[in-house]
Amino acid sequence: MSAAVADPFAKIRTATNTHRGQHGCGAHPYDNGPLLAALAAATSARRILELGTALGYTALSFASGARDATVDTIERDPDHVRLARDNIAAAAMDHRITVHEGDFAIVLATLDPGYDIAFFDGGTPAPALHKTLRGLLRTGGTLITANLNHGGSADAVRKALFDGKTWRSALTDEDGETAISVKL
């Protein structure tokens, strides 16, 4: 089966790559939206938090996987916010996905805890943000961390996720790019 058939949002993923090529920004779309949709479905998620909206590819993937879920997604680039809102409205998902414009740390401070899934896809993971995400995630909730193989502060985050005491974690790929972690 081709990726275009398997991924209902493949066109937005392609548009994100095109946008990055034209604007030289950091809008790298995640590799595997269908994996995120399946995780949302498997966990019967009702509240999903995302850091790093870009053009809305992964927010739409999550929302498509869990039909009763709402998604809060955070993005500071105003062009990305506008394009994501357009894509989300075109997919008729704007009643379930809220794009919060602003810096992660500032917006996170305004959100209520109890999320079922949190997804970090906003550059290199950093311990302080991950601590905040842990606080917003319910016990038994699922944290998905991308870019864990970026080095620097990502190494400290990976160490915490695999401490065996506070998270139950597994890598999804041989490159060590993404971890799925359950909050213990």
Ligand X SMILES: C[S@@+](CC[C@H](N)C(=O)[O-])C[C@H]1O[C@@H](n2cnc3c(N)ncnc32)[C@H](O)[C@@H]1O
Query: Which residue ranges make up the site for ligand X (CB under 6 A)?
Result: 16, 26-30, 52, 54-55, 57-58, 74-77, 80, 103-104, 121-123
Q: Which is nearer to ligand X, 107 or 160 (CB)?
A: 107
- Quote the least distance from Cβ 52 to ligand X, whole Å: 3
Rounded Cα distance between 133 and 164, Å, is 18
- Quote the least distance from Cβ 95 to ligand X, whole Å: 20
Q: Which is nearer to ligand X, 29 or 141 (CB)?
A: 29
Q: Which is nearer to ligand X, 13 or 134 (CB)?
A: 13
Hey, which residues does 169 pair with through a beta bridge? 181
Q: State residue 111 phi and psi, 5-degree precision.
A: -95, 150
- Quote the least distance from Cβ 81 to ligand X, whole Å: 9
- Quote the least distance from Cβ 48 to ligand X, whole Å: 12
Q: Which is nearer to ligand X, 31 or 163 (CB)?
A: 31
| Burial readout 108-127 (b: 16 or more C-beta within 10 A, e: otherwise) | beeeeeebbbbbbbbbbbbe
CB 55 within 8 A of CB 12: yes
CA 170 to chain centre: 17
CA neighbor of 28 nearest in space, from 121, 98, 120, 117: 121
- Quote the least distance from Cβ 122 to ligand X, whole Å: 4
Q: Which is nearer to ligand X, 83 or 161 (CB)?
A: 83
